[in-house]
């Protein structure tokens, strides 16, 4: 395929050929659906063969079905350059020093129109070029640790990230931002909350649901909020900083062990589950919603506990699950299993003997609830009591993913199952709470009247 027709194939390529059109041509298209004027954009090799994509003057891209095209007039040619201008990030002695550790994801991306791929771009100079407000907030330096979409994060990256945080704290940084894909940000947030204990500075995870080339992107606002938090907040915990309500009024800071991505495409996708968020954040500052948090300190003490046993898994129970799934896990050498059970923490009777066999083989099995809100209660029904008698340990109100990473982290430290149990059931950073606040359920509806009501009461 020639560069002039980059990404076009099949019927779409035939139409380009017929009218002598190449990518980057400024064209006017006459179609059965109306007239369109714009620049012909390249397509990615994965796109379909039926559309010609135009960038309109408004900045939006439209796909025109080539079967509707009657006439294409070439008006000129304009190759677009999407390089973000690099500007020297200004440093001022009275501003906090913040480090951005990049792992990848949409936040570190912009669309490359040549290939249609999303490519990373985030040196301090590029960030300053794209979001100049950052320089009013802090002195920013950056380090790209990885460039992966977050489904590719795993123990190697978790450990490298925890160690990098330890190094930054030791070298005197005032706050840390971690740029991360949103899909698994809540896994990494809870892993880091366990691996980096009692940090003296804020550790703020941030991402974006929409890349920065899109008019509705949340990248700049989330970054500004994350920088404000890292530079000025008194809350020295691992937090997730993302859009609050569906409008862009404020961001929310969520405790790393109680947060979850709850919507596949909304920008306001992160929600604190079973509790209330730590704080709201605007470009003017952070307003805590509670006071039971780890506070910022001047010392440089922090315990980095970078352990992770990879033979741990999370099993999402469904009715009629067959017991051989558990047997297979034991056979493959799994050492820990977290089950997300139904209701208060249940699985079906046929699975019981397999659980007994797994426990007898020395596998640690913990129960969580797939309802997400609420506690495991295995005393209520005799089925729950039976399960406990077989050795399943209820994991209170730990979220299933959090119990999974905590078990992997604990089994990375010791194989003594009594010690593992002590670690699992001792709250370290809010992953188990004594009670669930009644309003910790309403906050989920963020942006709707419940959230506004709640803030009216708490903000005073
Ligand atoms: N798939 C991307 C990721 O999680 C989406 C995002 O960055 O939000 O890495």
Q: What's the pLDDT tens digit per position in 349-389?
A: 999 999 999 999 999 999 999 999 999 998 888 788 888 88
State how far the Cα of 108 lies from the Cα of 123, in Å rounded to an integer: 10
* Residue located nearest, by CA, to atom 1 of ligand 1: 149
* Residue located nearest, by CA, to atom 6 of ligand 1: 181
Instruction: Looking at the CA of residue 182, tell me the nearest atom of ligand 1.
Output: 8
Task: Determine whether the shortest distance from the Cβ of 269 to ligand 1 is under 6 A.
Answer: no
Q: Phi, psi at residue 145, to the nearest 5°?
A: -85, -45
* Strands (DSSP E) found in 164-291: 175-179, 196-197, 203-206, 238-243, 251-255, 259-261, 270-272, 279-282, 285-288
For residues 455 and 188, the model is more confident at 188
Q: Which of 105, 189, 264, 266 to mutate to test the pocket of ligand 1 (most atoms within 8 A of CB)?
A: 105
114, pLDDT greater than 50: no
CA 322 / ligand 1 centre spacing (Å):
33
pLDDT tens-digit map of 223-237: 999 999 999 999 999
2, pLDDT greater than 70: no
Q: What is the pLDDT of residue 85?
A: 65
Mean of the pLDDT values across residues 235-259?
Answer: 92
Task: Determine whether the shortest distance from the Cβ of 266 to ligand 1 is under 6 A.
Answer: no
What are 273's two structure tokens? 């589950």
Mean of the pLDDT values across residues 309-322?
Answer: 98
CA 154 / ligand 1 centre spacing (Å):
14
State how far the Cα of 223 lies from the Cα of 251, in Å rounded to an integer: 10
CA 112 / ligand 1 centre spacing (Å):
16
Task: Determine whether the shortest distance from the Cβ of 182 to ligand 1 is under 6 A.
Answer: yes
CA 360 / ligand 1 centre spacing (Å):
40
Q: What is the pLDDT of residue 340?
A: 98
Instruction: Note whether 283 and 225 are within 8 A (CB).
Output: yes
Q: What is the pLDDT of residue 317?
A: 98
Mean of the pLDDT values across residues 326-342?
Answer: 98
Question: What burial class does residue 320 get, using C-beta atoms within 10 Å of its C-beta: 0-12 exposed, 13-18 middle, 19+ buried?
Answer: exposed
CA 107 / ligand 1 centre spacing (Å):
8
pLDDT tens-digit map of 124-173: 888 887 788 999 999 999 998 988 889 999 999 999 999 999 999 999 99
Q: What is the pLDDT of residue 116?
A: 43
Question: pLDDT band at residue 113, thresholds of 50, 70 and 90?
Answer: very low
Question: pLDDT band at residue 444, thresholds of 50, 70 and 90?
Answer: low
CA distances from 278 to 48, 251, 298, 457 (A): 44, 11, 21, 15
Per the prediction, the chain carries an average pLDDT of 90
pLDDT tens-digit map of 348-358: 999 999 999 99
Question: pLDDT band at residue 115, thresholds of 50, 70 and 90?
Answer: very low
CA 415 / ligand 1 centre spacing (Å):
34
The residue written with tokens 């062990």 in the block is 257
Task: Determine whether the shortest distance from the Cβ of 42 to ligand 1 is under 6 A.
Answer: no
Instruction: Looking at the CA of residue 104, tell me the nearest atom of ligand 1.
Output: 9
pLDDT tens-digit map of 205-226: 999 887 766 667 788 899 999 9
Question: pLDDT band at residue 3, thresholds of 50, 70 and 90?
Answer: low
Instruction: Looking at the CA of residue 149, tell me the nearest atom of ligand 1.
Output: 9
Residues 6+ apart with CB under 8 A from 128: 87, 88, 89, 90, 134, 135, 140
pLDDT tens-digit map of 62-90: 899 999 999 999 998 876 555 566 778 99
267, pLDDT greater than 90: no
State how far the Cα of 200 lies from the Cα of 11, in Å rounded to an integer: 60
pLDDT tens-digit map of 16-41: 999 999 988 999 999 999 999 998 98
Task: Determine whether the shortest distance from the Cβ of 207 to ligand 1 is under 6 A.
Answer: yes
Task: Determine whether the shortest distance from the Cβ of 120 to ligand 1 is under 6 A.
Answer: no
Task: Determine whether the shortest distance from the Cβ of 188 to ligand 1 is under 6 A.
Answer: no
59, pLDDT greater than 70: no
Q: What is the pLDDT of residue 80?
A: 59
């Amino acid at each position: 395929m020639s560069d002039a027709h980059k990404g076009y194939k099949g019927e779409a390529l035939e139409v380009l050929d017929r009218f002598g059109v190449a990518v980057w041509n400024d064209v006017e298209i006459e179609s059965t659906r109306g007239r369109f004027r714009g620049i012909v954009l390249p397509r990615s090799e994965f796109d379909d063969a039926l559309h010609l994509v135009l960038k309109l003057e408004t900045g939006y891209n439209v796909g025109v079905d080539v079967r509707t095209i009657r006439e294409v007039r070439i008006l000129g040619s304009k190759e677009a350059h999407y390089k973000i201008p690099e500007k020297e990030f200004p440093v001022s002695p009275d501003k906090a020093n913040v480090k951005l550790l990049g792992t990848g994801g949409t936040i570190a991306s912009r669309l490359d129109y040549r290939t249609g791929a999303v490519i990373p771009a985030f040196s301090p100079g590029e960030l300053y070029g794209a979001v100049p407000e950052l320089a009013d907030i802090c002195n920013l330096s950056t380090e790209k640790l990885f460039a992966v979409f977050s489904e590719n994060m795993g123990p190697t990256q978790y450990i490298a990230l925890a160690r990098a945080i330890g190094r930054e704290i030791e070298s005197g940084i005032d706050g840390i931002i971690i740029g991360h894909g949103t899909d698994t940000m809540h896994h990494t947030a809870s892993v880091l909350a366990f691996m980096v204990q009692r940090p003296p500075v804020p550790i703020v995870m941030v991402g974006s649901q929409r890349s920065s080339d899109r008019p509705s992107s949340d990248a700049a606002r989330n970054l500004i909020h994350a920088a404000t938090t890292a530079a000025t907040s008194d809350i020295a915990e691992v937090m997730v900083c993302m859009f609050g309500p569906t409008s862009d009024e404020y961001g929310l800071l969520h405790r790393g062990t109680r947060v979850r991505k709850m919507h596949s495409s909304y920008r306001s996708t992160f929600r604190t589950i079973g509790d209330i968020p730590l704080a709201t954040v605007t470009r003017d500052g952070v307003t805590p919603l509670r006071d039971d948090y780890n506070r910022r300190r001047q010392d440089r003490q922090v315990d980095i506990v970078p352990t992770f046993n990879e033979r741990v898994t999370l099993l999402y129970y469904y009715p009629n699950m067959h017991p051989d799934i558990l047997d297979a896990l034991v056979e493959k050498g799994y050492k820990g299993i977290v089950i997300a059970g139904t209701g208060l923490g249940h699985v079906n009777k046929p699975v019981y003997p397999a659980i007994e066999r797994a426990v007898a083989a020395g596998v640690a099995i913990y129960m969580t609830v797939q309802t997400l809100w609420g506690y495991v209660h295995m005393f209520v029904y005799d089925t729950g009591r039976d399960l406990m008698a077989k050795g399943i340990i209820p994991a209170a109100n730990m979220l299933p993913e959090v119990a999974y990473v905590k078990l992997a982290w604990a089994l990375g430290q010791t194989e003594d199952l009594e010690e593992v149990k002590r670690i699992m059931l001792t709250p370290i950073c809010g992953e188990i709470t004594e009670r669930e606040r009644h309003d910790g359920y309403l906050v989920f509806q963020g942006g709707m009247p419940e959230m506004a009501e709640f803030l009216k009461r708490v903000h005073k």
